[in-house]
Chains A and B, each alone.
Chain A
């Protein structure tokens, strides 16, 4: 099994399932189920052919890179299907509203359902997609994207709902934009599609989290081909992440879910999962949830925190488990992964650090934290 991932030149229909599985892993519990988007993407790639991937570092200065994706409730998307052409409609409306010709598309996040959506529009329009994204994981809000952190203005932006209604945004800052777009999603069925944070290639080169689409395909392939106990897969996962901009992957805990306390607050799933050792005494692990898994601790000793990635997998199959599917009695393994360097700067930590999610602690990189309980 390869220890490094392969940087792909293109994404083909056969890669999409692996891309989605890898994306669910990187989504750290959030991001939503990608299955319907997987179907749409596979169909688009089969009828239009593969989509070219362009390394962020190879973007021409004058390229116009457009992030494209959906905003809303992951749980809703389990039930309410997209029309299917929203990414294309959003792209077309963006171009007509701004008068710009878009040259490259890119996902908001390589997390769950959003990682494949730009491929649908890219395939139909013959556009390349940047091999990267704006998070390297999933996070809930627009200001948390590396594009926003690097100062790319969110607007002009367009949003398209399931009825084909279009809203154009022109806001003073990303916080206002996030508030407005969130309320539009709530008003229009819980899920909308947006095109936002458009930027020139020269700017994108500096703020895209690179290679994440190729990485997700490689990760998904490993998880599919080597489905089995998480502990057995650990050496290969460690090697794979070491070869990437994440750097470190570390096993934090294996146990069973003994309690899930989950409530909805301010438009988010807020909660806490408690894990206990499979047998015998030992310290419990708690994971704080706000859509994503944000903070893992043992008796108030933090083992990993946002923006580092906390991933929960089925300990018997190494299949990642979304927060909404975490259930009492499941046997799970918890992995901690270093976040890409883009999130480790002072300005980045001001919008994605633990305090942004209400935790009373500062970010400490996972490699500086204790490696496990006791």
Chain B
């Protein structure tokens, strides 16, 4: 018996599923709590109550969470953090955070530093590093009592020495300060890499609180198996990595719901509509995997280098406010206060969930409290929801042909009318916990990247492949099933010496047997 538990900690709900191999044994829903931990404990308690399994038999727990994305979107739990860019004299008029939304930039404090140094494309120094500049920045970080710092230097993916040198100098003087280096976020693209490193730095203390909470919750329910956290691309990282790289979870929510929808239906090509409490996320499954965006993906208005699914988000969810007698739904939502403020629950706010209850599509709360609701409002409200989702599905589908639509998430009852864009609409069993199922089926993955002269390409590819495989194995993948799933090669054009950027990604399913013994 290889039991494992998948948990999705969303903004409103904490869902948990128990899987035996590929089979869903039990699924439960609990409310997300402000401290996160007690919501996870509650979900695990419900799972135990419903299934009575032996905690000793659980080989792994996988958690997907939107907590870090929500923290950035809602500008909360962010620690004031410094960004040190090593690139002067370049970039002087394009400083860090230049294109950030003002309130998010302010949430991290005005701690932007630029110093000389970095590399050119050919490896030569862009400018000589100046110790006096570095020391002045370190003085300022000490004086402002900052504890989190991101450092980014030009061409760090090719040569990160300037970032390492600064980090070392900083930590010699201020050992308690945590430093995030942009080279840890891989890709070419200074602004995007710098943004990722800075958001990550600002989330470090929150990441410790969240992961501590997860670990305490597991311990409280007698689970002493390994804990993994979902990343953007559907792979997993261990908790040590999650404490260091919370930003790598930013798109894990949509990724898990897309993968979960695919696993629940067996569909390999479909549009997935995930209706939650505040928003509906519409994404596309292609060949069984989330369709990724070809453009740089913005998180809360900040461009990052992360590979993420192509998602269209509508401000329609179970908690959405209903206005204009059903003509307007959302984008404002009562969120997790639905069970207190919704009309069917004794409150005085008309929500989208109230419409579904009044129409008889959902058996929740007290339908009699909605007796005075005009049926025209109910009809128009539900039609508004269907029309907007229909339009979004139409925008996301790959061709004009009607598509298979999979409805998942807690709010699927909001959509009762047929969609003109859909050839068929599937509402799989366990749809409400698709995210948790996606999390439980995630794989482990790792990347290796380098810029090399073309003459060294073959050797470098071998070495990168070996590196990526080693990293995946170290992360817990079954060695015999590790595969290289992406080799990316980009020429650095116009160069005197022909040069290419190589990136290799390896993935593999988690080795549950090894976990059992490990």
A-side residues, CB < 8 A to B, are 35-36, 39-40, 43, 72-76, 78-85, 162-164, 182-183, 185-186, 189-190, 227-229, 231-232, 260, 262-265, 267-269, 271, 291, 314-317, 319, 321, 324-325, 327, 330-331
* Contacts known (A79-B189, A227-B395); A73 close to B94, Cβ less than 8 A: no
Interface on chain B toward A: helix, strand, loop, or mixed SS? loop
With a CB–CB cut-off of 8 A, which chain A residues contact B48?
none
Q: Which of B346-402 contact A (CB under 8 A)?
A: 394-400
Say whether A264 contacts B493, CB under 8 Å: yes
**What's the minimum C-beta distance from B468 to chain A, rounded to whole angstroms?**
17
Name, among A81, A269, A319, the residue most crowded by chain B CB atoms within 10 Å (CB to CB): A81
18 sampled A-B residue pairs with Cβ under 8 A: A36-B191, A40-B94, A73-B492, A73-B493, A74-B493, A75-B490, A80-B121, A81-B91, A83-B90, A190-B121, A190-B492, A190-B494, A231-B400, A260-B489, A263-B454, A267-B495, A319-B295, A324-B491
Residue of B87, B90, B191, B498 near A265 (CB, 8 A) is B498
* Contacts known (A83-B93, A84-B91, A189-B126); A315 close to B492, Cβ less than 8 A: no
Say whether B397 contacts A229, CB under 8 Å: yes
Say whether A229 contacts B498, CB under 8 Å: no
**What's the minimum C-beta distance from A339 to chain B, rounded to whole angstroms?**
22
Name, among B191, B310, B454, B493, the residue most crowded by chain A CB atoms within 10 Å (CB to CB): B493
Q: Which of B82-134 contact A (CB under 8 A)?
A: 87, 89-94, 98-99, 120-122, 126-127
Q: Which of B278-324 contact A (CB under 8 A)?
A: 284, 286, 291, 294-296, 303, 310
CA distance A228 to B394 in the complex (A): 8
Say whether A314 contacts B126, CB under 8 Å: no
CA distance A278 to B489 in the complex (A): 23
Q: Which residue of A lies closest to B293 (CB)?
A: A317
Other than A35-B296, A82-B91, give 10 A-B pairs with Cβ distance below 8 A. A79-B155, A80-B120, A80-B155, A81-B190, A162-B89, A190-B122, A190-B492, A229-B398, A231-B400, A262-B490
Say whether A79 contacts B94, CB under 8 Å: no
Q: Which of B188-217 contact A (CB under 8 A)?
A: 188-191
CA distance A351 to B494 in the complex (A): 19
Shortest 4 CB-CB distances between A and B: which pairs?
Answer: A84-B93, A264-B498, A81-B91, A73-B494
* Contacts known (A190-B121, A231-B400); A78 close to B493, Cβ less than 8 A: no
CA distance A291 to B120 in the complex (A): 21
CA distance A264 to B121 in the complex (A): 15
Q: Which of B53-78 contact A (CB under 8 A)?
A: none
Residue of B310, B394, B494, B501 near A185 (CB, 8 A) is B494
CA distance A271 to B87 in the complex (A): 32
Say whether A78 contacts B188, CB under 8 Å: yes
B122-160 CB mask vs A (1 if < 8 Å, else 0) is 100011000000000000000000000000001101000
With a CB–CB cut-off of 8 A, which chain A residues contact B296?
35
B417-436 CB mask vs A (1 if < 8 Å, else 0) is 00000000000000000000
CA distance A182 to B92 in the complex (A): 25
Residue of A72, A228, A229, A321 near B494 (CB, 8 A) is A72
CA distance A329 to B190 in the complex (A): 26
Task: Decide if B496 is an interface residue (CB 8 Å cutoff).
Answer: yes
Task: Decide if B499 is an interface residue (CB 8 Å cutoff).
Answer: yes
**What's the minimum C-beta distance from A184 to chain B, rounded to whole angstroms?**
12
Q: Which residue of B lies closest to A291 (CB)?
A: B493
Residue of B89, B94, B493 near A269 (CB, 8 A) is B493
B-side residues, CB < 8 A to A, are 87, 89-94, 98-99, 120-122, 126-127, 154-155, 157, 188-191, 284, 286, 291, 294-296, 303, 310, 394-400, 454, 488-496, 498-501
CA distance A36 to B400 in the complex (A): 35
With a CB–CB cut-off of 8 A, which chain B residues contact A324?
490-491, 493
**What's the minimum C-beta distance from B318 to chain A, rounded to whole angstroms?**
27
Residue of A72, A85, A190, A317 near B93 (CB, 8 A) is A85
With a CB–CB cut-off of 8 A, which chain A residues contact B498?
263-265
With a CB–CB cut-off of 8 A, which chain B residues contact A183?
496
Q: Which residue of A lies closest to B453 (CB)?
A: A264
Q: Which residue of B lies closest to A329 (CB)?
A: B287
Say whether A325 contacts B294, CB under 8 Å: yes
CA distance A262 to B454 in the complex (A): 11
CA distance A198 to B438 in the complex (A): 60
CA distance A191 to B513 in the complex (A): 53
CA distance A330 to B398 in the complex (A): 12
With a CB–CB cut-off of 8 A, which chain A residues contact B397?
229, 316
Say whether A84 contacts B94, CB under 8 Å: yes
Name, among A78, A291, A315, the residue most crowded by chain B CB atoms within 10 Å (CB to CB): A78
**What's the minimum C-beta distance from A79 to chain B, rounded to whole angstroms?**
5
CA distance A135 to B38 in the complex (A): 63
CA distance A271 to B92 in the complex (A): 35
Say whether A80 contacts B93, CB under 8 Å: no
With a CB–CB cut-off of 8 A, which chain A residues contact B398?
229, 315-316, 331
Say whether A163 contacts B489, CB under 8 Å: no
Say whether A76 contacts B400, CB under 8 Å: no
* Contacts known (A231-B399, A263-B498, A316-B291); A162 close to B90, Cβ less than 8 A: yes
**What's the minimum C-beta distance from B290 to chain A, rounded to whole angstroms?**
13
Q: Which residue of A lies closest to B498 (CB)?
A: A264
CA distance A324 to B189 in the complex (A): 13
Residue of B98, B120, B491 near A75 (CB, 8 A) is B491
Residue of B157, B400, B489 near A232 (CB, 8 A) is B400
Say whether B89 contacts A189, CB under 8 Å: no
With a CB–CB cut-off of 8 A, which chain A residues contact B286?
331
With a CB–CB cut-off of 8 A, which chain B residues contact A83?
89-93
Q: Which residue of A lies closest to B397 (CB)?
A: A229
With a CB–CB cut-off of 8 A, which chain A residues contact B126?
80, 162, 189
* Contacts known (A73-B121, A229-B398); A190 close to B495, Cβ less than 8 A: yes
Say whether A264 contacts B495, CB under 8 Å: yes
Say whether A189 contacts B120, CB under 8 Å: yes
CA distance A324 to B194 in the complex (A): 21
With a CB–CB cut-off of 8 A, which chain B residues contact A269?
491, 493
With a CB–CB cut-off of 8 A, which chain B residues contact A75?
188, 490-493, 501
CA distance A214 to B265 in the complex (A): 48
